[in-house]
Structure 1
């Protein structure tokens, strides 16, 4: 059996030249657009802690969102295969990034906190167990070294 390859391409365009380019750290905006064919443009910037615009998405938020989205989508599929009927899924993940002296940093942890509502006929223990299987499939989780934790709530 051969691997199937998928290619993902986006365009990231810096829109923050205020006229002086990058003459200094304060002379330009961190604003940029993230685009891909057929989907709305994401207005991006850096985190406000790094001179960014708080009204735009920053890479750190998008990183956490991609982990949560991937987990949710795999969870829903695995739950369906296991016979768990999910009727609602809401996640409010949190992540901790450590900034080192000099500005470098990395994520220390990501904690997914999904609240999953299941049909009364579904097995709550099985619904919880399915969460632990997701890490075997989610390409985002499998591609990063940041530890991902789970605080799962199952409701009926």
Structure 2
């Protein structure tokens, strides 16, 4: 890992009547729009879906690191994320991020240890740590 601080950059460009395009160096462009809930067209990534996806992605990548550092074997991971956007004291904001973590581990793996490492993962996730909305984890553990 590189020394801190890390810096990231992205830009968004477009026209009044066309879609907007998000760009970042060395990454593919991503068309973005307002979500349908705010009058945008369906089928585009929005700031809202990108934020919820970032929470899921951060958890998955952090889990991979935590599991490796703790010598935990696992064969499959799926993180389903949902976010609740609401008005609180006249401010529109996310009030909760929910992560359903589906994890497959070898038979005989200690579920309490996995639960503790999932908690450690959530605590180490930089996206969750950067949000004012709380993140809740629902672990679905399977052996296989």
TM-score of the aligned structures, taking structure 1 as reference length = 0.82
Q: Could you list the per-position Cα deviations for residues 115-148 of structure 1 after superposition, in whole angstroms to 9, with x for gaps in the alignment?
A: 0011235332211211111233211111111010
Conserved in 2, the CA contact under 8 Å of 1:84 and 1:126? Answer: no
Report the Cα distance in structure 2 between the residues aligned to 1:97 and 1:130, rounded to whole angstroms: 28
Does 2:103 match 1:116? yes
Superposed, 1:117-136 pairs within 5 Å as: 117-120=104-107, 122-136=109-123
Counterpart residue number, 2:85: 97
Q: 1: CA distance between counterparts of 2:86 and 2:9?
A: 29
Larger radius of gyration between Structure 1 and Structure 2: 1
Distance 1:101 1:60 in 2: 19
Count of residue pairs the alignment pairs up:
141
For normalisation by structure 2, the TM-score amounts to 0.88
Q: Distance in 2 between matches of 1:35 and 1:141?
A: 23
- Residue equivalent to 2:12: 12
Q: What runs of 5+ residues in structure 2 fail to find an aligned partner?
A: none
Look up the SS of the partner of 1:151 in the other structure.
strand
CA offsets 1:79-114 (integer angstroms, 9 cap, x no match): 122221121001111111114698x41111111001
The reply to whether residue 48 of structure 1 matches residue 52 of structure 2 is no
Q: Residue 118 of structure 1 contacts residue 124 of structure 1 at CA under 8 Å; is this kept in 2?
A: no
Give 5+ residue unaligned stretches, structure 1: 19-28
Kindly report the root-mean-square deviation, in angstroms, between the aligned alpha carbons of the 2 structures. 1.9
Whether the 8 Å contact between 1:136 and 1:142 is mirrored in structure 2 is: yes
